[in-house]
């Protein structure tokens, strides 16, 4: 994985975790900002794994996080 893709992967992972925490805390403004950043990362990461791209396009953020953490049964993060 090239440096840019690795940086985007790490940023996406952190942003997804932060967003889910913000949802749990009821921080609506923070959630909106996180959603905007997640959408931007999805646009910037052109060579993201197909399964991850699918999860992001369908707004399946828990599944996207599971994918990044290797808990997704559909594919491994390095596919």
CB neighbour class for 15 (10 Å; exposed up to 12, middle 13-18, buried from 19): buried
Taking only the tens place, the pLDDT of each residue in 3-37 is 989 999 999 999 999 999 999 999 999 999 999 99
pLDDT of residue 79: 46
What distance in Å separates the CA atoms of residue 3 and residue 6, rounded to the nearest whole number? Answer: 5
Q: What is the 3-state secondary structure (H, E, C) of 42-66?
A: HHHCCCCCHHHHHHHHCCCHHHHHH
Mean pLDDT of the region 36-46: 95
């Amino acid at each position: 994985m090239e440096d840019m893709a690795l940086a985007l992967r790490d940023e996406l992972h952190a942003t997804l975790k932060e967003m889910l925490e913000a949802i749990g805390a009821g921080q609506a403004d923070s959630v909106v900002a996180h959603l905007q950043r997640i959408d931007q990362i999805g646009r910037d990461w052109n060579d993201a794994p197909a399964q991850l791209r699918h999860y992001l396009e369908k707004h399946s953020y828990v599944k996207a996080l599971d994918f990044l953490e290797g808990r997704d049964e559909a594919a491994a993060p390095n596919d």
